[in-house]
Chains A and B, each alone.
Chain A
């Protein structure tokens, strides 16, 4: 069971916890759409500190419209960025 489904609108948490985080700052607090569910992987926030048998987390690819990331984006309105984001960084819209 995964928490989000393909096509669902999601928001990236706006947190700023310490440690090794693989959710880029520029996506935090932004809304996008689940493009695909990549499967389950070890949480990099635990792996980075040597916990090799830590929790498995569902990884999503979330598609963001460029204008949602950068309001002053100068390319076309259809341009997008796809970012891999773990489930605990996503919340329902």
Chain B
């Protein structure tokens, strides 16, 4: 399930298909030929997933910073919170983990590349790298520092390994200096990396 979005080889790369590329293409052709779904249905599904954007997650975070009731909903029932923005998170169980002055959350999938795709789109390449997957659970503070953020010693670093049926998104803390900003401006502070927990939002 980890790599099925790499359904086509990159353009302008010569050379034979790899074993797994051939396998994926054969499977794709068979599923269409046998009528499990049509080529157009597959294309539509890929298009829908590609259209997911970290900005959707950022909108939820900004609303949570402005509205305590919405924040409570986001933390207890992420699907319903996303639905208020017209976002359908599908059958996936997404859980939002709140950063506090005492806890910093970091998301990883050590086994493959599980990620809250139905909410914030496809994961970045580094998220899928063996380097990140191995080290996020082994030396999370060093990994976060490499992304430019040092977590203070008195803050607990809590790593979430998405090994099974839940997917995670981080609710970062509202940054200092953001008083008076409206919801749209706040959402612009929340990048994809903040939602994974490798950095924190800042006011430029």
Residues of A bordering B, CB below 8 Å: 22-24, 26, 38-39, 41, 44, 59, 61, 69-70, 73-76, 78-86
Contact = CB atoms under 8 A, between A and B. Distances in A.
Interface of B: 93, 110-111, 137-141, 153-154, 156-166
Contacts of A81: 137, 158-161
A41 B164 contact: yes
B110 A41 contact: no
Contacts of B161: 24, 81-84
A24 B151 CA distance: 26
A86 B164 CA distance: 8
Given A24-B111, A24-B161, A84-B162, A74 B139 contact: yes
Contacts of B156: 76, 78-80
A75 B110 contact: no
B133 to A, nearest CB: 10
Given A23-B163, A26-B137, A80-B157, 14 more contacts: A22-B111, A24-B110, A24-B161, A24-B163, A26-B110, A39-B93, A41-B165, A59-B165, A79-B157, A81-B159, A83-B163, A84-B161, A84-B165, A86-B164
Contacts of A85: 163-164
Contact of B140 (A26, A41, A75, A78): A75
